[in-house]
Structure formats: C-alpha cells, structure tokens
Amino acid sequence: MFQIIISFFLGILAGTFTGLVPGIHINLVAIFLISLTFITSLPTTILLVFITAMAITHTFIDFIPSIFLGAPDEDTGLGILPGHELLINGQGHQALKLTLLGSTIAVISLILIIPIFITFMPTIFPFLNRLMAFFLIWISIFLIYNEKESKTKAILIFILAGFLGLAALNLPIKQPMLPLLTGLFGTSTIIHSIKSKTIVPEQKIERLGIYKSELIKPTLATIIVSPICSFFPGLGSSQAAIIGSEVTGKLNREQFLILLGSVNTIIMSISFVTLFLFQKSRTGAAFAISQITELSSTNLTTIIITILLAAIIAIPLSIAISKFIAKRIHKFSYTKISILILIFLIAIITYFTGILGLTTLTIATLLGLTAIEFQTRRSFLMGAILIPTIIFYIPF
C-alpha cells in the first residue's frame, strides 16, 4: 500500500511537470517510462496508478502555460485565444479556473458516462469502425460549413495543414506531432504576441463570476460529444470542444474554456475505458498501459479510483500555481518571456526531433501565422491530424 501511495504522488508530481513545461508532453514521459528495462519488474498496480495520476494531473495543469505563455499541446491549442484574451484583460487566473471548472464537471460526469460507454459502445463499435473515414469526413465538412468567416480560407488552411501533417508523419522523426502542433499553435501564437508587443496588465485574483445556468451548455456538450470523440482517432479535445459548441449552440468564451477543460479531462479518462473494451489506445497514457498489461476489470477500477483521487489534488494544486504566476507575471516583460519560451521550444524540438523536426516546426509556424492573418478559426489547423487519419481509414 505504501508503494502505491508513493507512486500516486510521484504521478501527481510528474503530471505537474509535464503540464507546466512547454514541449514536455505526457506522451514523451509515458513512452520513456515503458522503455526503461527495470520498469517491467515493478508491480502492475504501481505503474497503473503512476501513469493514471500523471495523465489526469496533466489535463488540469496544462492550461497554465497555454493561458499565461501561449505554449500549448495538442489538447489545449484552442484554449490559447480565449485564454489569452482574458489574460490581456487581467483575468488570466479566472481563465484557468474556468478550465478547472470544466475538468471538475468532467470528473463528475464520468460517473454517468462510463457505465453508458461500457454498455453501448461494444455494440456500436463494429458499425463505427467500418464507417470511420466517412464519419471523419462528415465531421470535417461540418466544421468548415459552420465557419462564419471565409469558408474558402478555412478550406485552404485545412488542406494545407493536412498536407503538412501527411509529410510530417512520413518523416523519420520519433515524435512528429511535437514540432507539428507546437508550430501550428504554439510558436505561431508566441511570434504573433511578440509582433503585437503584448503587454500583460496586473492580474485580478477574484472569485469566479459565472451563473449556474451558463454551465448547462458546456456540460451537455461534454456528455454528448466526449464519448464519441474519445473513440474516433484524430479527434482530440480541441475537436470535441468545437463540435460540442456547435451541437449545443454558440458558447461565449467563458463557456468555451469550461468545455475545453471538460473534454480535455474526460477524453483522457475514457481513453482507459476504450483500451479496456477494444484494446485500442487513443492517448499516450493508454498506450503506455497497453504495453505493460492487458486491462482487467480490477485494473480499470483501480484507474477510475486514481482518476477521482488525482482530480481532488490537482484542482487546488492548479489554483495555487496559477495564483502564484498571476500575481507576478505583470512584473516581467511579456515580450522577453515570450522570446525565452520560443527559444526553449526550439531547443526542445531540435533535441528530440533534429533538423527535420526543426524544418517541420518552421513550416508549421508559418502556416499558423497564416491562419492568424486570415482570421480563420485555428481549429482548421487540426486538418494536420484529421486528413492523415481519414486517408488511413479509407479502404483502398
């Protein structure tokens, strides 16, 4: 029992680290973990608890760098824009609390979603699997059709991102998603902030002012969309948030941040259930577990309990870290911080992916900047993942 407790808190610590440090994604840590020879000799329960605690803590913490620094991973990329807007208005801490509120809703919703998912998905799975490419194409068309600005620009960005994604995935790079998504969402946003000479005002540490009625839409969207998006490959938290916002009607930026936080946590959580039911890993954490053991119902119960306990700790931990940063960030030059983060991301990508990764980062950054100049929704950049996935599932 003592070893399990230690592994739990080490997982919390690791998830905090991966969440806070741009470029160090949970997938890297999970894959590195299972590559260590001595790991296989550890009891399965200890590894399950560590990986789960790390993964769930990461989903709570990882909005902090995306909101305060504009440095996302693939699950928080769409949170940059509304989060950055609130940061510039002195409400960066409130933006973080909105995503935490969403993550809290997600954990509570799991009580309802997991039994339904386990009951119905095995029956639906064969049908969905046969028509996977069709559904992904329909979702892509749906997203483009609902673009309020120029649909032509949206299609152009979506297709260019798709070609870039195909090229990146076919390069001999260990982590092709790292330079690709960092360029599309991270470095492009940071460079735009530097060009705009962004000044971060003193941040307000206030109570979260949101009406209970405003929680209805993001909660419904989470319950409806997350189980489906957790099944489809190529659809992560960002796409689930966009689809959810269309299904339930237009969301304001506060509701969108709640929804994004919610689907980020719930898709990670349900990925373990998907692994249990179909032996398919949709996240790096689920993949790591699949390399360690075949999930039993007992193992799944352990994972669910760990999710709940990790959430209880991750919420106050995230608030404390966010408050610490919010009280101090206005004292520093945001431009200098942005430049340092930019240099750090370039160094990380060069170290992990080499010259090819750096080239991918450069092209992805240019495409991300183009999307910003077009004033097109950044979600269309996720064509970099959707188009390769569609091609993979088209039966030739």
At residue 237, the pLDDT reads: 66
At residue 373, the pLDDT reads: 87
What secondary structure does DSSP assign to 63-82, as a single string?
HHHHHHT----TTTGGGHHH
pLDDT tens column, 53-72: 999 999 999 888 878 876 44
pLDDT tens column, 262-285: 888 888 898 899 888 888 777 778
Most confident range, picked from 89-103, 192-206, 246-260 = 89-103
Output the six-digit token pair for 314: 């991750």
- The reported pTM is 0.79
CA distances from 74 to 26, 123, 269, 349, 353 (A): 11, 30, 16, 15, 17
At residue 77, the pLDDT reads: 45
Amino acid code (one letter) for 265: T
Amino acid code (one letter) for 392: F
Max distance between CA atoms of the chain, in angstroms, equals 59
Q: What is the mean pLDDT of residues 22-44?
A: 65
List of residues 6+ apart from 289 with CB closer than 8 A? 47, 48, 51, 272, 275, 281, 295
Q: What is the dihedral of CA 245, 371, 178, 162, to 10 degrees?
A: 80
Cα–Cα distance for residue pair 321/326, rounded to 1 Å: 9
pLDDT for residue 76 is more than 80:
no
Q: Are 32 and 73 in contact (CB under 8 A)?
A: no
Q: Which domain holds residue 371?
A: 2-393
List of residues 6+ apart from 312 with CB closer than 8 A? none
Cα–Cα distance for residue pair 149/7, rounded to 1 Å: 49
pLDDT for residue 74 is more than 60:
no
pLDDT tens column, 235-259: 666 667 777 777 776 777 788 888 8
Closest alpha carbon to 75 in 118, 35, 39, 25: 25
Q: What is the count of structural domains for the chain?
A: 1
